[in-house]
């Protein structure tokens, strides 16, 4: 019997273009159900895809604090989220809710 070899899936390896990154974040917004740490983790995935050091520099944060903020273990402040989104070259937008 042959053993099946598996490798860990890392979404950051598949986020290559700004459009893919935006689509991923949009999908995470839809799935988050109000979980801010989930969104922070998604931003962390995108930041790793772009290069954490560069994103930290562009956001004006230390690399270590960026890793902590986007670990998904806590909810970072909204100011941090806005800095990271700007550093990633992404934009937030609002639309009317359904209901």
**How is the chain split into domains, by residue range?**
16-87
Q: With 70 as the cut, is the pLDDT of residue 99 above it?
A: no
Q: Do 21 and 49 form a contact (C-beta atoms < 8 A)? A: yes
Residue range 37-81, pLDDT digits in tens: 999 999 999 999 999 999 999 999 999 999 999 998 988 999 999
5-46 pLDDT per residue, tens: 998 999 999 999 999 999 999 999 999 998 999 999 999 999
**Can you give the chain as a three-state secondary structure string?**
CCCCCCCCCCHHHHCCCHHHHHHHHHHHHHHHCCCHHHHHHHHHHHHHHHCHHHHHHHHCCCHHHHHHHCCCCCCCCHHHHHHHHHHCCCCCCCCCCCC
Question: What pLDDT score does 74 carry?
Answer: 85
Give the confidence band of 93 by pLDDT, cuts at 50, 70, 90. Answer: confident
Q: Is the pTM of this model over 0.85?
A: yes
């Amino acid at each position: 019997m042959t053993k099946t070899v598996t490798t860990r899936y890392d979404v950051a390896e598949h986020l290559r273009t700004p459009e893919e990154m935006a689509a991923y974040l949009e999908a995470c917004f839809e799935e988050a159900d109000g979980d801010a740490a989930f969104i922070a983790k998604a931003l962390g995935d995108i930041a790793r895809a772009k290069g954490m050091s560069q994103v930290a520099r562009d956001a004006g944060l230390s690399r270590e604090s960026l890793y902590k903020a986007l670990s998904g273990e806590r909810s970072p402040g909204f100011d941090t989220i806005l800095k990271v989104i700007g550093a990633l070259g992404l934009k937030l937008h609002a639309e009317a809710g359904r209901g």
